[in-house]
Amino acid sequence: AQKVTQAQTEISVVEKEDVTLDCVYETRDTTYYLFWYKQPPSGELVFLIRRNSFDEQNEISGRYSWNFQKSTSSFNFTITASQVVDSAVYFCALSENYGGSQGNLIFGKGTKLSVKP
């Protein structure tokens, strides 16, 4: 069965520190999609990134970077030079394969990141 594990429940850092949020997933599908979402205190779910299982290239977007390693079934998220506005709950998610296309999103429990000034 598909499963997403975010072992870090809460992380607290001081502004400008780098922080990595861990995500480990389980799936029997060979084709799948991985996501990260951000949920700020206002409550909405903000899409950050989507990767498919055939693309292991790491991605960088500004201060955000993602490390996808199929060998360890991990899809970790690093924020460089963290800022107070990065404070939020971050969710890693796995999309089931439904007929070759995206199906349901299975979420991890989330990691609450607090960035202190």
Partner 1 sequence: DAGVIQSPRHEVTEMGQEVTLRCKPISGHNSLFWYRQTMMRGLELLIYFNNNVPIDDSGMPEDRFSAKMPNASFSTLKIQPSEPRDSAVYFCASSLAHRGPVGYTFGSGTRLTIV
Instruction: Summarize as ranges the residues that interact with partner 1 (CB under 8 A).
Output: 33, 35, 37, 43-45, 47, 49-50, 52, 91, 95, 98, 101-110
Query: What is the smallest separation between the CB atom of 44 and partner 1, expressed in angstroms?
Result: 5
For residue 17, give the 3-state DSSP assignment.
coil
Of the two residues 66 and 91, which places its CB atom closer to partner 1 in the complex?
91
CB of residue 110 to partner 1, shortest distance in Å: 6
Cβ neighbours, 10 Å, residue 72: 10
Q: Which is nearer to partner 1, 15 or 49 (CB)?
A: 49
Is residue 98 within 8 Å of 106, Cβ to Cβ? no
Our CB check for partner 1 shows the closer of 82 and 97 to be 97
Residue whose CB is less far from partner 1, 14 or 60? 60
Least Cβ distance, residue 89 to partner 1 (angstroms): 10
Q: What angle do CA 113, 36, 116 make, to 5 degrees?
A: 15
Q: How far is the CB of 37 from partner 1 (least distance, A)?
A: 8
| DSSP state letter for 77 | E
- Pairwise CA distance, residues 27 & 70, whole Å: 11
User: Would you say 34 and 22 are in contact if contact means Cβ atoms under 8 Å apart?
Assistant: no
